[in-house]
Structure 1
């Protein structure tokens, strides 16, 4: 019998020399053993495979009672004749092999590993634990290493479907293999293929404190625009606000004031109209003549407020221009009166 959980296949051998060159077929039948022992009824055999050329017969579809005991028989048919029946007693609970877990999954649980075990399945895809309530698992696990001689497997037994492997190393690879077991008839399955998973580490409070301190320090640097500490410019920061507009002005012209020679003052300049604010007086009564500003003012006339000045041009000709004039007036030297283009010249006789 070839069995696994509730899958059953009866197989047999046949020596072809017994049938010479004739084609051979086989017939398979079964019956409950208790019926053979009954004296009140004639036993009736049930045919499963009839005159088949295969040397096996699948009994899975019969859904045999797992705790029952059955009698199976097979005979050969060739050229209208048949052989004797060959009998076999079969009890699934005793004879059927148990299979390994249907699935094994690993999940890190901090420095430990959680092992999720799916029960072996019947031919109807139901858990075998519904039939074998005493079934449990051997869980074999070991630290993965390139040196096979250094492996030290550990064993853990449990009937639960979720098992946590304790006392593992952090950030270490472990491999796990699981076996199904049923002790009543000393049944054990093969081990599942090894599955490996790396454990994780536990984050200590010191690590959290250091991480938090670094984060808050970086946030302080980014959120302190008035601080002298070098700042980190984040993608969302308005870096344009860190710089003011820079206006480059041309060098202001310096007003130069020169003393006029006496011959230039002999005759007044022409071209002044009658509406000017200056008057001409007779200078024949005196040989001395000088140039004095009208109205007794010795200061330069301020730029008219009615003249428009906007933007960088007004900014450049404003305070800096006046400062240049004032500095010129404070220059030591002979006292002279400034000559202003838009005012007249008055000759005074002394």
Structure 2
């Protein structure tokens, strides 16, 4: 019975070994590196698995661990379906020597391990400067270089202490033709090219180098700039003249715009409207309203309802004169003497020989001397009353309607 069990276990082991030997392992292992960034890549024949999906496991160990009976392997990628594994954050020492291996997993079966030797100091590529900047100082050209960066964003000079730079620069002619290349090396990050021509355009390319393992990076893209020199006096005068003219034009436009804006605002908020000339008197004073003039004069007026149009006629029919008033040659009536009654009234001539319509005489008593002929003219113009000139020294005027 015990022998039968042993035969079964042996059969299972042989079957598993045959399955593992039959599963295709990865091939074409390659370390893709730049500075301290490491990525293992491989290839695998998918046709060997058919429709099933295979996974892969990646491990590494230091070569000093391989001398032990039970070496310690560190798993980086377990059961990954991709064809690459990033070892950047695995803590590989830049000066160490490691063995990296990968295995295929399919339906619980495993292929044999495929391994590769990796030494970062020897195998890892270095990159070009992370940044290059040009500066012009007169007739010289300044170059500013930033070291290539590792995975921790620090300078690669922490790993490569003898890192230096190879600089290639050339003059770029205006006709587009090539010119002779000039080369120099430096281990500093700031340098000045003094052997350049003024007012000339130069292009620069830089790459990193390390001679211990003869490492060199690719060149940076060309970076071009133009040097300067002493500015001629005619250029200085021309720039000064242009600046002066520009300032003058700016000030002129500002003054013109301010003046125009002032007049627009004044015409909008303070329009210049003037009264007509017939509203002004000869002495320049504005005339009083008719109501106020009448209030000042305070006349006694009786209007006959037979006519709406009043006419002031200096000539009064002698037949219509009341008794007690003398008639002179000019048709004016004098005020009665002090002994007679001071009353004035309206007298109507019942009919005259000339056949004129009846007229109503309006008598103003105690006329204000300031009520002159010009004010009566204004009264006649506004109220459509025709007024005859009044003699200032006469106290009474007849108004016929």
Bin of the TM-score, shorter chain as denominator length: 0.5 to 0.7
Distance of 2:65 and 2:88 partners within structure 1: 21
For 1:63, the equivalent position in structure 2 comes to: 91
Please list the CA deviations of residues 157-197 of structure 1 after superposition, one character each: whole Å capped at 9, or x if unmatched: 00010121221110111111110001111111010111111
Going by fraction, where is helix more abundant, 1 or 2? Answer: 2
Q: How does 1:1-350 map to 2 (within 5 A)?
A: 1-38=31-68, 42-145=70-173, 149-202=177-230
Bigger relative contact order, structure 1 or 2 (CA pairs below 8 A, ≥6 apart) = 1
Q: 1:223 matched to which residue of 2?
A: none
Partner of 2:335: none
Q: Give deviations 1:35-71, integer Å, cap 9, x for gaps.
A: 1124xx6211010000110000000011311000011
- Further displaced range: 10-19 or 119-128: 10-19
In 1, the alpha carbon distance for the partners of 2:81 and 2:56 equals 6
Gaps of 5+ in 2: 1-30, 241-250, 252-401
Change (3 A) 1:211 1:187: closer
The 3 A distance-change label for structure 1 pair 211 and 22 is closer
Residues 1:88 and 1:168: Cα distance change in structure 2 (over 3 Å) = same
Distance 2:64 2:176 in 1: 53
1:146, CA displacement in angstroms? 5.6
Q: Is the contact made by 2:97 and 2:120 (CA closer than 8 Å) also made in structure 1?
A: yes
Shift of 1:147: 5.4
What SS class does the counterpart of residue 50 from structure 2 fall into? coil
Report the Cα distance in structure 1 between the residues aligned to 2:149 and 2:127, rounded to whole angstroms.
8
Q: Distance in 2 between matches of 1:77 and 1:84?
A: 10
Which structure has the larger Rg over C-alpha atoms? Answer: 2
Conserved 8 A contact 2:58-2:101: yes
The number of equivalent residue pairs is: 211
State the TM-score, normalizing by the size of structure 2.
Answer: 0.50
Mapped partners of 2:99, 2:107: distance in 1: 27
2:288 corresponds to: none
Q: Residues 94-143 of structure 1: CA distance to partner in whole angstroms, max 9, x if unpaired?
A: 00000000100000022111100000000000000111110100111111
Instruction: Tell me the CA shift for residue 202 of structure 1.
Output: 3.3
Question: Which secondary structure state, in structure 1, belongs to the residue aligned with residue 230 of structure 2?
Answer: coil
Alpha-carbon distance between aligned partners in 1 of 2:117 and 2:175, rounded to the nearest angstrom: 48
